[in-house]
Amino acid sequence: MNAALPPPPAAASTPAVRVVAFDCDGVLFDTEASNQAFYNRVLAHIGRPPMTPGQCRFAMMHTVDQTLAHLIQDRNQRVRADRFRRSLDYRSFVKHMRMAPHLIETLQALKPRCNTAVVTNRIDTLDGILDAFHIRHWFDLCVTAADVARPKPHPAPLLRVLRHFGVQPPQMLYVGDSVVDESAAAAAGVPFVAYRNPSLTADRHIEDLAALTAFLI
């Protein structure tokens, strides 16, 4: 069971929630089209058909290594695919991405009161995405799958955020959209806010990131 969300603080007090962390794909950005274009390009290079809808959903939640293992069982083909994907300039796929509505306004409202972080299962493309959208400066910490021994759904990425800011789990929120995010938050004891996915078990459900400010500020 996730820890209960702390009640809103009094106006003159320090916010009970000191850190708000966000997943990248499906939360900060709609990346379904870019992920599909990226992996289909890799699959075409080794003569494989495009992803199925189920494979697309898997890719949205998992690391590139996990996704390639899921898509390509043949080891030699997987090595070729991995080598090719490393040669691609991911910036060419950023044009397919869309920033979440009200993201900038939400970060502007949160920043004076909370630290912000990104926790993602991306490995080596997050920096380029944040730079392309000119929002890197809004985040105090970014944790990718390359920064931890085990990615989500393991709690290691969220535990890294807790240690970095020196806060306890109830003082942090994690905003995610998948069962992988839900599981990571539960394992870390961090209150979970589900974004646009009512099927998840969460402390709060929101349809718009701007709703974060309603119960934090």
User: Looking at the structure, do residues 178 and 208 belong to the same domain, yes or no?
Assistant: yes
Q: What predicted TM-score, i.e. pTM, was given to this entire model?
A: 0.86
Same domain for 62 and 23, yes or no, is no
DSSP annotation of 25 reads B
Question: 133: helix, coil or strand?
Answer: coil
pLDDT at position 5: 52
Q: How many domains does the chain have?
A: 2
Q: What are phi and psi of 104, to 5 degrees?
A: -65, -45
User: Above 80 in pLDDT, residue 2?
Assistant: no
Q: Compute φ and ψ for 61, nearest 5 degrees.
A: -105, -20
| Domain hosting residue 192, numbered range | 19-30+97-216
User: Among residues 95, 117, 132, which one ends one of the domains?
Assistant: 95
**104 and 57 share a domain?**
no
Q: Examine residue 116 and state whether it is found in any structural domain, yes or no.
A: yes
Q: Is residue 113 domain-resident?
A: yes
Instruction: Name the region of 202 (left: φ>0; alpha: ψ -120 to 50; beta: rest).
Output: beta
Q: What is the DSSP annotation of 140-165?
A: SEEE-GGGSSS-TTSSHHHHHHHHHH
Whether 104 and 78 map to the same domain: the answer is no
In a domain? residue 8? no
Does an H or E element contain 19, and which? strand 19-22
- pLDDT tens, residue by residue, 157-202: 999 999 999 999 999 999 999 999 999 999 999 999 999 999 999 9
- Rounded Cα–Cα distance for residues 16 and 169 (Å): 11
Instruction: Give the up-direction half-sphere exposure of residue 139: CA atoms within 13 A in the CB hemisphere.
Output: 23
Is 80 in the same domain as 108? no
Helix ranges, the chain (H) = 32-45, 53-61, 64-71, 75-87, 103-110, 126-132, 156-165, 179-188, 211-216
pLDDT at position 91 is 86
Q: Does 13 have pLDDT greater than 90?
A: no
- Would you say residue 9 lies in a domain? no
Q: Is 209 inside any structural domain?
A: yes
Instruction: With cut-offs at 50, 70 and 90, classify the pLDDT of residue 112.
Output: confident
Do the beta carbons of residue 129 and residue 151 sit within 8 Å? no
> With bands split at pLDDT 50, 70 and 90, how would you rate the model's confidence at 214?
confident
pLDDT at 117 over 60: yes
